[in-house]
Amino acid sequence: MNIDFSSEELAFQQAVQKFLQEKLPADIREWTLKEIPLGKEDFVRWQKILYEQGWAATNWPVEHGGTGWTPTQKYIWANECANFGAPDVIPFGFKMVAPVIFTYGSEEQKQRFLPDILESNVWWCQGYSEPNAGSDLASLKTTAVRDGDEYIVNGTKTWTTLGQYADWIFCLVRTGGTEVKNQAAISFLLIEMNHPGITVSPIMTLGGHHEVNEVHFNNVRVPVGNRIGEEGQGWTYAKVLLTHERTGIARVASSKKRLKTLKKLASETCDGDANLLENPAFSQKLAEVEIDLLALEYTELRALAAVSTGQAPGPESSILKIKGTEIAQQLDELYMETAGYYGMPFVSNQFTSDFDGERVGPGVITSSVPRYINNRKASIYGGSNEIQKNIISKWVLGL
Ligand SMILES: Cc1cc2nc3c(=O)[nH]c(=O)nc-3n(C[C@H](O)[C@H](O)[C@H](O)COP(=O)(O)OP(=O)(O)OC[C@H]3O[C@@H](n4cnc5c(N)ncnc54)[C@H](O)[C@@H]3O)c2cc1C
């Protein structure tokens, strides 16, 4: 396999580098390199710059305003962004609901929703999980009962990431009554968050942050025209969305950049008479992560190739999810080891870009402990890693 870039690909890489140098705002770059989560306005500001450039939707077909990039171009883009310090786009619109809309939505729905996602005018969130339906998602209980041209929605969604900012939520609802515990009675609904009857309540995470929420629906009236595809076919669309979501969680380019930064940090960190990078126990752990990451990169390229031919990523998205999140968490641990004493004070609000106090530790070290605590989530959301192993055993190994 030839993995050298062609001259066109090298020219594309230079164009990306030039664009990032000229257009990425310095403050957004600084927070991204320090691994401090951005606020809503920062994401929207950057996504609108991408829109102006025509590069906002790297995974959409050209006819809907996507870039139409090849897998190699997407690979170059992801790696240059990670290296330079450009944030990922928020996935709920671009990478989750949009592929469902342009694959299964009506023409009217495509015209109505896709342009606002492309321009980042609308913030989406994901309403799949419920208090008693996570891994066993098909047992969800939120109901949508038909009343003329509307559904009346009742129920509770949970762990809704960044739902406090959302204008719209895409939801799995039960259109066949709560007594039917099967996948055929599930439909896929798009719901505007400003409807009377919707309330959002925060869930504070272990690290002390407001990132996830509960969303309650109390007799919320939703037009039938907001249903994607057929009634009762929502499970099929939901699964396609999940494979896109899992592929995105692998974050290989980001882990490569983090590994590079970690090596530099370790080489500057004293360990007795030498530096931490020269410590055999530490460097062995680092080498193990690096080997796993290299192997994962090839799996990611296979998934990218599948998506570029119009297919949804297959079970390899589960492999990507498991290994990608394990590697990210191993890196989190090595960052903590490198932080050493700087990791001991717990200053949870320094993990936000608007913190104006004195940060503990230099550069990216400042976020290593909150990042470690926050990123325990990575092996849970998008379907826990145990569930991904079940998928692999069934669809890859045929067990
Ligand atoms: C930070 C965060 C953000 C999230 N964001 C969103 C969001 O925006 N929208 C959304 O809809 N959901 C979101 N989720 C929910 C996420 O998808 C669920 O948490 C996940 O699917 C697991 O469900 P659960 O929490 O109900 O755990 P459970 O399903 O109760 O699982 C508990 C444990 O049992 C294990 N387990 C369960 N069943 C099996 C099995 N059959 N075989 C082996 N092991 C099993 C699980 O792996 C897990 O370790 C988020 C979750 C987190 C933590």
Report how far ligand 1's centroid is from the alpha carbon of 301 (Å). 27
Angle between helix 40-53 and 7-23 (nearest 10)? 130
Q: Which of 245, 290, 316, 326 is catalytic?
A: 245
Report how far ligand 1's centroid is from the alpha carbon of 63 (Å). 35
Between CA 182 and CA 170 the distance in angstroms is: 20
Between 3.40.47.10, 2.40.110.10, 2.30.30.280, 3.30.980.10, what CATH number should domain 123-233 receive? 2.40.110.10
Please report the pLDDT score of residue 184 as a whole number. Answer: 78
Report how far ligand 1's centroid is from the alpha carbon of 135 (Å). 5
* CATH 1.10.3720.10 holds for 250-395: no
Considering only CA atoms, which residue is closest to atom 12 of ligand 1?
Answer: 129
Q: What is the pLDDT along the chain (399 residues), one digit of tens a residue?
A: 456 789 999 999 999 999 999 999 999 999 999 988 899 999 999 999 999 999 999 989 999 999 999 888 988 999 999 999 999 999 999 999 999 999 999 999 999 999 999 999 999 999 999 999 999 999 999 999 999 999 999 999 999 999 999 999 999 999 986 665 677 799 999 999 999 899 999 999 988 889 999 999 999 999 999 999 999 999 999 988 777 766 677 889 999 999 999 999 999 999 999 999 999 999 999 999 999 999 999 888 877 777 666 666 677 788 889 999 999 999 999 999 999 988 888 777 777 777 888 888 878 888 888 889 999 999 999 889 999 999 999 988 888
Between CA 29 and CA 210 the distance in angstroms is: 23
Considering only CA atoms, which residue is closest to atom 13 of ligand 1?
Answer: 159
Taken in order 375, 123, 243, 63, the sign of the CA dihedral is: negative
Report how far ligand 1's centroid is from the alpha carbon of 107 (Å). 34
Catalytic residue list contains 214: no
Considering only CA atoms, which residue is closest to atom 24 of ligand 1?
Answer: 134
Location of each CATH 2.40.110.10 domain in the chain: 123-233
Give the pair of three-digit tokens for residue 95. 């990478």
Nearest-atom number in ligand 1 for the CA of 133 is 26
Nearest-atom number in ligand 1 for the CA of 92 is 8
Location of each CATH 1.20.140.10 domain in the chain: 250-395
Q: Which residues line ligand 1 (CB under 6 A)?
A: 126-129, 134-135, 159-161, 212, 377, 380-381, 383-384, 386-387, 390
Considering only CA atoms, which residue is closest to atom 31 of ligand 1?
Answer: 135
Question: Which residue type is seen at 118?
Answer: L
Residues recorded for the chain: 399
> Which of 26, 86, 16 lies closest to 53, judged by CA?
16
DSSP string computed for 83-141: HHTPPPPPHIIIIIIHHHHHHHS-HHHHHHHHHHHHTT-S-EEEE--BTTBSSSGGG--
Report how far ligand 1's centroid is from the alpha carbon of 384 (Å). 5
Owner of token pair 């530490």: 282
Question: Which residue type is seen at 362?
Answer: P
Q: How many CB atoms lie within 10 A of CB 238?
A: 22
Considering only CA atoms, which residue is closest to atom 52 of ligand 1?
Answer: 381
Please report the pLDDT score of residue 1 as a whole number. Answer: 46
Q: How many CB atoms lie within 10 A of CB 146?
A: 12
Owner of token pair 């606020």: 39
Distances (CA, A) of 338 to 165, 193, 234, 348, 374: 35, 43, 46, 19, 18
Considering only CA atoms, which residue is closest to atom 2 of ligand 1?
Answer: 381
Please report the pLDDT score of residue 343 as a whole number. Answer: 84
Residue 131 · residue 212 · CB < 8 Å? no
Residue 118 · residue 125 · CB < 8 Å? no
Q: Of all helices (H) and strands (E), which one includes residue 219?
A: strand 210-223
Question: Which residue type is seen at 305?
Answer: A
Please report the pLDDT score of residue 341 as a whole number. Answer: 87
Report how far ligand 1's centroid is from the alpha carbon of 240 (Å). 18
Among 129, 136, 142, 242, residue to substitute to test ligand 1 (most atoms within 8 Å of Cβ): 129
Q: Residue 270 class from Cβ within 10 Å (0-12 exposed, 13-18 middle, 19+ buried)?
A: exposed
Report how far ligand 1's centroid is from the alpha carbon of 4 (Å). 40
Between CA 133 and CA 140 the distance in angstroms is: 5
Among 381, 388, 394, residue to substitute to test ligand 1 (most atoms within 8 Å of Cβ): 381
